[in-house]
Structure 1
């Protein structure tokens, strides 16, 4: 690790890396009024120790150094909070924190730059390694063959190129790719994580998102929509008579029907977003184009086909990560919405939906 790769303001002699990481973590806890549990304390300590060794280029006797850490546990266990505190304090210039869907889209774009050359994925991964010494990957998960192939080979190249990696996930590495149809293709990546990463479980047994006041609501969940007065959604979004209504917009070369849009605000239907074959790239486009979204007609999800559920899971992940202000409207309560046999990732989605402020007719302006 050369001095130019380090933050110029960092003085390793006055404060070791591990101490810096823990000090920042404590400051973040205090600022938010949180208390860390034992698993989170262990994780931030191990992250600091690992980064200190990584920066110094140290490895154990007769073994390769750890490529990074893999933090896993149930929803709301503080994985992202721990990683955010670590990332902010890591004294590196070439560091990145990425979210799953946006990063995969970026990777595919990088691969297109090497089209026509042998192994575009390896070339794209090496180009990424030249720019990045520390990559923090939030919400790591694998549920289709395309992701399995891309992520498996990407991890291999990044580890070989010496990029430091920190991942958070709801799954133990062995549970990352449960679908037997393509699990064999991802087994080498699971073996790589288990061999080269330190795997830590942050499951302290409590979903901190369930504590009242721990996290600010990122939008509202409104039900039953039929109980609200005409024009209620328009008023909540701040749409005026000048709004464009019932229009098709071109998104990634195919149409997307929007009920209403004006400025950075848009209103769409669940059927359009999740029952039609829209991809995560389409949802990323929405998150980049609009800061406020209303989605109406959300059904009880456990009764929907798995592909419909997967789109909804992806949509909520992307909107949440992008900081979208979301208005979700349904005829069903949130408890009813989540009953049945939902998608395997729905525990994370439900936790995020529970961070929406519940609104019913008669509450506030309707």
Structure 2
């Protein structure tokens, strides 16, 4: 079945609502799917030759438009080995592999890592490509050049047009060849739907539960009932989220504030997620001084990034803290503001499956 036929079948079953912009985006994705179904071109010793034509699709547009859902559809229909992975997690694997190659005394540390990917995968499906780390920015052009040459296709979603990747980043001039590579080697398509599907799914949703709440149900609705997990690399450490799918994450207060995390961790989290379900926030008395400080920092990071927040807590925002942390009055105010239905509209994720 073509992607258009699969999409129509899901519409007929009521699993998704038809959207003309999504339907238009199926054409470039189907071009890549059909190309992958063709026999490999082989060279000397049976090695795959670099395919001709486009090596993938860069699907970008406003959040909540259904990019992740369409990429998942492509991933399920791919006629060759396909791997779906969050871009941050993939780049962490690449850096880990480069570190091992460097420790083994190899001079070309990108080559062996790329070869390992080429051996196992024909198409990579990246959710949320964004470049915020200079270590990623300095390696992606060499990496993707080798992947394309080895016959690996790439389908990725992004909230930014290619020209805006790594915008204002350090040494951005060194990153510009990657932007040109994306525009030359991939089909760039804007998903320009006027409708924000994730916002629709959150409309009328309670966002602050006192004394607990049915957050398992909320997570199931927003994640589509699946979880791929997410690992963020922050200053040489891993911040692992077990529950993550299509820009939606779920974590407990103990996970995020009960450990010695800092502003860098929370900023990385805020960049990686569009919706955070935060569970089991306790009353923050003097015995929770450090946890309170971390909670304040977490809320500030989420607020500044426009991340949608759904919380279960032991008390209303104004009654959460009994400490003298002067910032908490602001935190309580922000928690109230973040409950508004139109809060963070530009940061919501895509239409579910």
Larger RCO (CA within 8 A; separation ≥ 6) = 2
Q: Structure 2 matches for 1:1-366, cutoff 5 A?
A: 19-56=1-38, 64-92=52-80, 94-115=81-102, 116-212=105-201, 221-222=207-208, 228=210, 232=211, 266-268=252-254, 270=257, 275-278=262-265, 293-294=279-280, 298-299=295-296, 304=300, 308=301, 327=311, 331-332=332-333, 336-337=337-338, 350-351=347-348
The whole-number CA distance in structure 1 between the counterparts of 2:181 and 2:336 is: 39
Q: Is the 8 A contact 2:199 2:345 kept in 1?
A: no
Q: Is the 8 A contact 1:70 1:200 kept in 2?
A: yes
CA RMSD of aligned residues (A): 4.6
- Taking structure 1 as the reference length, the TM-score comes to 0.61
Partner of 1:82, secondary structure, is helix
Aligned to 1:7: none
Equivalenced residue count is 276
Q: Which runs of 5+ in 1 are unaligned?
A: 1-18, 238-250, 257-263, 284-290, 321-325, 356-366
Distance 1:212 1:200, change over 3 A: same
Q: Is the 8 A contact 1:274 1:309 kept in 2?
A: no
Partner of 2:83, secondary structure, is strand
Partner of 1:143, secondary structure, is coil
Q: Is the 8 A contact 1:299 1:337 kept in 2?
A: no
Distance 1:105 1:300, change over 3 A: closer
Q: Which runs of 5+ in 2 are unaligned?
A: 42-50, 217-233, 240-249, 271-276, 283-291, 318-331
Shift of 1:97: 0.6
Q: Is the 8 A contact 1:270 1:295 kept in 2?
A: no
Partner of 1:56, secondary structure, is coil
**Deviates further, 191-200 or 138-147:** 138-147
Shift of 1:51: 2.1
The whole-number CA distance in structure 2 between the counterparts of 1:89 and 1:123 is: 29
Deviations 1:302-356 (A, max 9, x none): 9x5xxx569x969x79xx9xxxxx74655246572499xx9xxx766x425xx9x
Q: Is the 8 A contact 1:72 1:172 kept in 2?
A: yes
Q: Is the 8 A contact 1:252 1:282 kept in 2?
A: no
- Taking structure 2 as the reference length, the TM-score comes to 0.63
Shift of 1:132: 0.4
Shift of 1:156: 1.8
The whole-number CA distance in structure 2 between the counterparts of 1:47 and 1:55 is: 13
Partner of 1:66, secondary structure, is coil
